[in-house]
Amino acid sequence: MPIPSAHTFSRRHMLRLTAGAGLLFLAGGLLRPGDAQAAAFAAPALPYAENALEPVISAKTVGFHYGKHTLGYFDNANKLVAESPLAGQPLEKVFLEAAKDPKMVGLFRNAAQAWNHVFYWNGLTATAGAPSGKLAKAIETSFGGLEACQKALAEAAVSQFGSGWAWLVADSTGKLSVVKTGNADNPLQDGLKPLWVIDVWEHAYYLDYQNRRADYVKGVLDKLVNWDFAAKNLG
Protein backbone atom coordinates (compact mmCIF):
# COMPACT_ATOMS: atom_id res chain seq x y z
CA MET A 1 0.00 0.00 0.00
CA PRO A 2 1.49 3.37 -0.95
CA ILE A 3 2.52 5.55 1.97
CA PRO A 4 1.42 9.21 1.74
CA SER A 5 3.49 12.04 3.15
CA ALA A 6 2.82 13.11 6.74
CA HIS A 7 -0.84 13.96 7.37
CA THR A 8 -1.56 14.02 3.63
CA PHE A 9 -4.08 11.74 1.95
CA SER A 10 -4.78 11.71 -1.76
CA ARG A 11 -8.30 11.30 -3.14
CA ARG A 12 -7.39 7.71 -4.00
CA HIS A 13 -6.38 7.01 -0.39
CA MET A 14 -9.56 8.61 0.87
CA LEU A 15 -11.70 6.46 -1.42
CA ARG A 16 -9.91 3.38 -0.23
CA LEU A 17 -10.43 4.36 3.39
CA THR A 18 -14.11 5.10 3.02
CA ALA A 19 -14.74 1.83 1.22
CA GLY A 20 -14.59 -0.13 4.48
CA ALA A 21 -17.56 -0.78 6.72
CA GLY A 22 -16.18 -0.08 10.15
CA LEU A 23 -14.39 2.37 12.39
CA LEU A 24 -11.50 3.84 10.42
CA PHE A 25 -8.84 6.20 11.66
CA LEU A 26 -7.18 9.19 10.03
CA ALA A 27 -4.26 11.22 11.30
CA GLY A 28 -5.64 13.70 13.79
CA GLY A 29 -9.06 12.13 14.19
CA LEU A 30 -11.57 9.40 13.45
CA LEU A 31 -13.57 8.74 10.33
CA ARG A 32 -16.92 7.00 10.67
CA PRO A 33 -18.11 6.41 7.11
CA GLY A 34 -21.88 6.62 6.94
CA ASP A 35 -22.26 5.43 3.39
CA ALA A 36 -19.80 2.56 3.30
CA GLN A 37 -21.04 -0.36 1.26
CA ALA A 38 -18.22 -2.90 1.32
CA ALA A 39 -18.33 -5.67 3.90
CA ALA A 40 -14.57 -5.72 4.44
CA PHE A 41 -12.62 -3.64 6.91
CA ALA A 42 -10.34 -1.30 4.97
CA ALA A 43 -6.85 -0.87 6.40
CA PRO A 44 -5.91 2.83 6.40
CA ALA A 45 -2.57 3.87 4.98
CA LEU A 46 0.03 5.14 7.42
CA PRO A 47 -0.44 8.85 8.18
CA TYR A 48 3.27 9.49 7.50
CA ALA A 49 6.22 8.08 5.58
CA GLU A 50 7.84 4.88 6.86
CA ASN A 51 10.98 6.79 7.89
CA ALA A 52 9.11 9.65 9.60
CA LEU A 53 9.61 8.26 13.11
CA GLU A 54 13.38 7.83 12.88
CA PRO A 55 15.63 7.64 14.80
CA VAL A 56 13.28 6.41 17.56
CA ILE A 57 11.55 3.85 15.33
CA SER A 58 13.29 2.83 12.13
CA ALA A 59 11.73 2.63 8.69
CA LYS A 60 12.54 -1.09 8.72
CA THR A 61 10.53 -1.62 11.89
CA VAL A 62 7.62 0.46 10.59
CA GLY A 63 7.68 -1.44 7.31
CA PHE A 64 7.45 -4.83 9.00
CA HIS A 65 5.13 -3.72 11.79
CA TYR A 66 2.65 -2.07 9.46
CA GLY A 67 3.11 -4.11 6.29
CA LYS A 68 3.20 -7.56 7.89
CA HIS A 69 1.49 -7.29 11.28
CA THR A 70 -1.11 -4.53 10.94
CA LEU A 71 -2.24 -5.56 7.47
CA GLY A 72 -2.12 -9.20 8.52
CA TYR A 73 -4.61 -8.55 11.31
CA PHE A 74 -6.94 -6.80 8.86
CA ASP A 75 -6.68 -9.69 6.39
CA ASN A 76 -7.42 -12.27 9.08
CA ALA A 77 -10.26 -10.24 10.58
CA ASN A 78 -11.89 -9.94 7.17
CA LYS A 79 -11.71 -13.69 6.57
CA LEU A 80 -13.09 -14.53 10.02
CA VAL A 81 -15.86 -11.93 10.16
CA ALA A 82 -17.23 -13.11 6.80
CA GLU A 83 -18.05 -16.44 8.45
CA SER A 84 -19.63 -14.90 11.55
CA PRO A 85 -22.99 -13.32 12.46
CA LEU A 86 -21.10 -10.02 12.91
CA ALA A 87 -20.39 -9.58 9.20
CA GLY A 88 -21.11 -6.04 8.05
CA GLN A 89 -20.76 -4.50 11.51
CA PRO A 90 -18.22 -1.78 12.40
CA LEU A 91 -14.79 -2.97 13.49
CA GLU A 92 -15.23 -1.67 17.04
CA LYS A 93 -18.53 -3.48 17.50
CA VAL A 94 -17.10 -6.66 16.00
CA PHE A 95 -14.24 -6.99 18.46
CA LEU A 96 -16.33 -5.96 21.46
CA GLU A 97 -19.05 -8.50 20.65
CA ALA A 98 -16.56 -11.22 19.67
CA ALA A 99 -14.79 -10.73 23.02
CA LYS A 100 -17.90 -12.07 24.77
CA ASP A 101 -18.01 -15.35 22.85
CA PRO A 102 -15.25 -17.94 23.38
CA LYS A 103 -16.15 -19.44 20.01
CA MET A 104 -15.09 -16.19 18.32
CA VAL A 105 -11.75 -15.75 20.05
CA GLY A 106 -9.88 -15.72 16.74
CA LEU A 107 -12.10 -13.00 15.34
CA PHE A 108 -11.75 -10.98 18.55
CA ARG A 109 -7.98 -11.18 18.54
CA ASN A 110 -7.58 -10.13 14.92
CA ALA A 111 -10.28 -7.44 14.88
CA ALA A 112 -9.06 -5.95 18.17
CA GLN A 113 -5.46 -5.99 16.98
CA ALA A 114 -6.46 -4.25 13.76
CA TRP A 115 -8.20 -1.55 15.83
CA ASN A 116 -5.37 -1.29 18.36
CA HIS A 117 -2.67 -0.98 15.71
CA VAL A 118 -4.33 1.79 13.74
CA PHE A 119 -4.93 3.65 17.01
CA TYR A 120 -1.22 3.23 17.82
CA TRP A 121 -0.04 4.52 14.43
CA ASN A 122 -2.23 7.59 14.68
CA GLY A 123 -0.93 8.29 18.18
CA LEU A 124 2.61 8.81 16.90
CA THR A 125 4.04 11.88 15.19
CA ALA A 126 7.47 13.21 14.26
CA THR A 127 6.38 16.69 15.37
CA ALA A 128 5.48 15.96 18.98
CA GLY A 129 4.63 18.98 21.10
CA ALA A 130 2.95 19.12 24.49
CA PRO A 131 -0.61 18.70 25.73
CA SER A 132 -2.70 21.86 25.82
CA GLY A 133 -6.21 23.00 26.64
CA LYS A 134 -8.65 20.50 28.11
CA LEU A 135 -6.19 17.60 27.88
CA ALA A 136 -3.46 19.50 29.72
CA LYS A 137 -5.92 20.38 32.49
CA ALA A 138 -7.10 16.78 32.74
CA ILE A 139 -3.50 15.53 33.00
CA GLU A 140 -2.77 18.07 35.72
CA THR A 141 -5.89 17.11 37.67
CA SER A 142 -5.50 13.36 37.25
CA PHE A 143 -1.73 12.92 37.56
CA GLY A 144 -0.37 16.17 38.97
CA GLY A 145 1.43 17.03 35.74
CA LEU A 146 2.78 15.72 32.45
CA GLU A 147 5.93 14.25 33.98
CA ALA A 148 3.88 12.07 36.32
CA CYS A 149 1.61 11.01 33.44
CA GLN A 150 4.57 9.98 31.31
CA LYS A 151 6.11 8.14 34.24
CA ALA A 152 2.90 6.16 34.75
CA LEU A 153 2.79 5.29 31.05
CA ALA A 154 6.44 4.22 31.08
CA GLU A 155 5.97 2.04 34.15
CA ALA A 156 2.90 0.36 32.67
CA ALA A 157 4.59 -0.22 29.31
CA VAL A 158 7.81 -1.63 30.76
CA SER A 159 6.10 -3.80 33.38
CA GLN A 160 3.51 -5.36 31.05
CA PHE A 161 4.47 -9.03 31.10
CA GLY A 162 4.74 -10.40 27.60
CA SER A 163 2.88 -8.86 24.69
CA GLY A 164 0.43 -6.02 25.17
CA TRP A 165 -0.27 -2.32 25.40
CA ALA A 166 -0.08 0.64 27.79
CA TRP A 167 -2.98 3.08 27.45
CA LEU A 168 -3.88 6.58 28.52
CA VAL A 169 -7.63 6.42 29.15
CA ALA A 170 -10.53 8.48 30.45
CA ASP A 171 -13.43 7.20 32.51
CA SER A 172 -17.04 8.37 32.30
CA THR A 173 -16.31 11.34 34.57
CA GLY A 174 -13.37 12.53 32.45
CA LYS A 175 -10.73 11.43 34.95
CA LEU A 176 -7.59 10.12 33.27
CA SER A 177 -5.60 7.05 34.22
CA VAL A 178 -3.09 4.61 32.77
CA VAL A 179 -3.96 0.95 32.23
CA LYS A 180 -2.15 -1.92 30.59
CA THR A 181 -3.67 -4.79 28.66
CA GLY A 182 -2.29 -8.08 27.45
CA ASN A 183 -2.29 -9.39 23.90
CA ALA A 184 -5.30 -7.94 22.01
CA ASP A 185 -7.33 -6.62 24.95
CA ASN A 186 -8.63 -3.05 24.79
CA PRO A 187 -9.88 -0.67 27.54
CA LEU A 188 -13.19 -0.29 25.67
CA GLN A 189 -14.02 -3.73 27.02
CA ASP A 190 -14.06 -2.17 30.51
CA GLY A 191 -16.01 0.93 29.56
CA LEU A 192 -12.96 3.20 29.37
CA LYS A 193 -12.20 5.64 26.54
CA PRO A 194 -8.76 5.17 24.95
CA LEU A 195 -6.88 8.42 24.35
CA TRP A 196 -3.41 7.16 23.43
CA VAL A 197 -1.48 3.89 23.42
CA ILE A 198 2.01 2.45 23.11
CA ASP A 199 2.48 -1.00 21.62
CA VAL A 200 4.82 -3.24 23.62
CA TRP A 201 4.54 -6.38 21.54
CA GLU A 202 8.09 -7.36 20.61
CA HIS A 203 7.44 -6.73 16.91
CA ALA A 204 7.02 -3.02 17.76
CA TYR A 205 10.61 -2.59 18.89
CA TYR A 206 12.79 -5.71 18.65
CA LEU A 207 14.51 -4.90 15.35
CA ASP A 208 15.68 -1.58 16.81
CA TYR A 209 16.10 -2.29 20.52
CA GLN A 210 16.22 -6.07 20.96
CA ASN A 211 15.37 -6.71 24.65
CA ARG A 212 15.70 -3.03 25.66
CA ARG A 213 11.98 -2.30 25.83
CA ALA A 214 12.55 0.54 28.29
CA ASP A 215 14.69 2.44 25.74
CA TYR A 216 11.98 2.13 23.10
CA VAL A 217 9.33 3.32 25.55
CA LYS A 218 11.42 6.29 26.63
CA GLY A 219 12.08 7.31 23.04
CA VAL A 220 8.40 7.21 22.13
CA LEU A 221 7.28 9.11 25.21
CA ASP A 222 10.00 11.73 24.85
CA LYS A 223 9.72 12.38 21.12
CA LEU A 224 6.76 10.79 19.34
CA VAL A 225 3.53 11.28 21.31
CA ASN A 226 0.76 12.82 19.22
CA TRP A 227 -0.94 14.85 21.95
CA ASP A 228 -3.33 16.40 19.42
CA PHE A 229 -4.66 12.91 18.68
CA ALA A 230 -5.11 12.23 22.40
CA ALA A 231 -6.87 15.58 22.85
CA LYS A 232 -9.33 14.85 20.05
CA ASN A 233 -10.11 11.46 21.54
CA LEU A 234 -10.80 13.11 24.91
CA GLY A 235 -13.24 15.46 23.16
The confidence band for 40, taking pLDDT boundaries of 50, 70 and 90, is confident
Structural domains of the chain sorted by starting position, each given as residue range(s) with its CATH number in brackets: 11-45+63-122 (1.10.287.990), 133-234 (3.55.40.20)
SS3 state at 150: helix
User: In angstroms, rounded to a whole number, what is the distance separating the alpha carbons of residues 131 and 127?
Assistant: 13
Residue 154 has pLDDT above 80, yes or no: yes
77-to-83, 163, 177 alpha-carbon distances in Å = 10, 19, 30
Residue 35 carries which side chain, given as an amino acid letter?
D
Check pLDDT > 60 for residue 192: yes
State which H helix or E strand residue 165 sits in.
strand 164-170
Region 216-228: mean pLDDT is: 98
Indicate the annotated binding residues for Mn(2+): 65, 117, 199, 203
Residue 25 has phi, psi (to 5 degrees) of -115, 140
Residue 25 has a pLDDT of 37
**pLDDT score, position 87:** 94
184 pLDDT above the threshold of 50:
yes
Model pTM score: 0.84
> What φ, ψ does residue 182 adopt, rounded to 5°?
-95, 150
How far is the C-alpha of 146 from the C-alpha of 175, rounded, in Å?
A: 14
Residue numbering of the annotated binding site: 65, 117, 199, 203
For the segment 70-93, what is each residue's pLDDT rounded down to a tens digit? 999 999 999 999 999 999 999 999
CA separation for the pair 111, 107 (Å, rounded): 6
- For residue 139, pLDDT over 50 is answered with yes
Q: What is the overall mean pLDDT for the chain?
A: 86
pLDDT (average), residues 136-141: 98
Classify the phi-psi angles of 37: left when phi > 0, otherwise alpha if psi is within -120 to 50, otherwise beta. alpha
Nearest to 104 by CA among 118, 90, 89, 83: 83
